[in-house]
């Protein structure tokens, strides 16, 4: 996702596994399917305006950023808190 002055470039991938969001197309509620169908039918300018309106909601925009980061880092190996702290010279949790 890239936000520039009055320009929004967003690549949203729907119906693919994303960390904690594990929905397949057949798992979407009927309401979600209606909204998605309507969104896909919008002309490009109206899609952009709709996405800009969504992103103007600070919490929603933050959620999208979090999902994007989680998806990018999905294949990284787990790191224990002690290992993370050690790598950053923060000491261990117990000392």
Reported in sequence order, the residue ranges of the chain that DSSP labels E, i.e. its strands, are 2-4, 7-9
Specify the pTM. 0.47
Other Cβ atoms within 10 Å of 34 Cβ, number: 11
Question: What is the pLDDT, as a whole number, of residue 22?
Answer: 46
Q: Tokens representing 4?
A: 């520039």
The SS3 of residue 4 is: strand
The pLDDT of residue 95 is: 53
- pLDDT higher than 60, residue 7: no
93 neighbors 85 (Cβ within 8 angstroms): yes
Q: 28-61, pLDDT tens digit by residue? A: 688 888 998 999 999 999 999 999 998 899 999 8
Residue 74 pLDDT exceeds 70 = yes
Helix axes 44-55, 58-72, angle to 10 degrees: 100
């Amino acid at each position: 996702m890239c936000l520039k002055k009055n320009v929004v470039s967003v690549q949203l991938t729907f119906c693919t596994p994303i960390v904690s969001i594990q929905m397949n197309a057949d798992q979407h509620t009927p309401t979600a399917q209606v909204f998605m169908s309507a969104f896909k039918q919008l002309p490009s300018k109206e899609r952009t305006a709709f996405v800009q309106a969504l992103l103007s909601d600070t919490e929603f925009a933050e959620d999208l950023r979090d999902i994007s980061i989680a998806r990018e880092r999905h294949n990284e190996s787990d790191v224990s808190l002690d290992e993370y702290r050690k790598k950053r010279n923060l000491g261990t949790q117990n000392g």
